[in-house]
């Protein structure tokens, strides 16, 4: 299920801290962490779906938008803080766009990198996951 998580921060007079832990506030075992930053104006990233594995996207600095298509419906979500995490399960086409210049998008993934796990062609995705008449 596509879900937005609201992560609790420890705030005090020194600032704020948020922790992400496997099978606690993250609903899977984290196998990989990567970040996306320095995205050039108007560039879109993603444009694929995963056959397996979940990801959680957290825009720890700046802002960006996420489009998710489940094969039938599309949603758009603004990510604008380290306390917000967008959970994208497998089988969802996703695109990231409208990055602010300072944006840093942190990604927590449930599996290791495997190019064979990617569906990068929208028509293949819609054939596999779209409405079957």
Binding region for ligand T46 (CB under 6 A): 32, 34, 36, 45-46, 55, 107, 113
Rounded to whole angstroms, the Cα distance separating 4 from 40 reads 26
Q: Give the pairing type, strands 3-6 and 84-88.
A: antiparallel
Q: How far is the CB of 128 from ligand T46 (least distance, A)?
A: 17
Q: How far is the CB of 114 from ligand T46 (least distance, A)?
A: 9
The one catalytic residue in 48, 50, 94, 131 is 48
Q: How far is the CB of 98 from ligand T46 (least distance, A)?
A: 14
Rounded to whole angstroms, the Cα distance separating 116 from 113 reads 9
7 vs 37 by CB, closer to ligand T46: 37
10 vs 34 by CB, closer to ligand T46: 34
Handedness of CA 108, 111, 114, 120 (dihedral sign): negative
Assess whether 48 carries a catalytic annotation: yes
Task: Say which residues have a Cβ less than 8 Å from residue 79's Cβ, sequence separation at least 6.
Answer: 57, 58, 59, 63, 64, 65, 66, 86, 105
The set of catalytic residues is 48
């Amino acid at each position: 299920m596509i879900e937005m998580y609201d992560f609790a921060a420890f705030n005090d007079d020194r600032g704020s801290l948020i922790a992400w832990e496997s099978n606690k506030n993250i609903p899977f075992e984290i196998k990989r962490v990567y970040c996306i930053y320095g995205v050039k104006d108007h560039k879109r990233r993603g444009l694929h779906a995963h056959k397996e594995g979940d990801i959680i996207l957290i825009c720890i600095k700046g802002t960006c938008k996420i489009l998710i298509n489940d094969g039938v419906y599309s949603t758009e979500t603004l990510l604008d803080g380290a306390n917000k995490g967008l959970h994208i399960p497998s089988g969802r086409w996703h695109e990231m766009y409208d990055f602010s210049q300072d944006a840093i998008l942190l990604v927590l993934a449930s599996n290791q990198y495997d190019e064979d796990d990617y569906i990068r062609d929208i028509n293949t995705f819609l054939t596999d996951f779209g409405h079957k008449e």
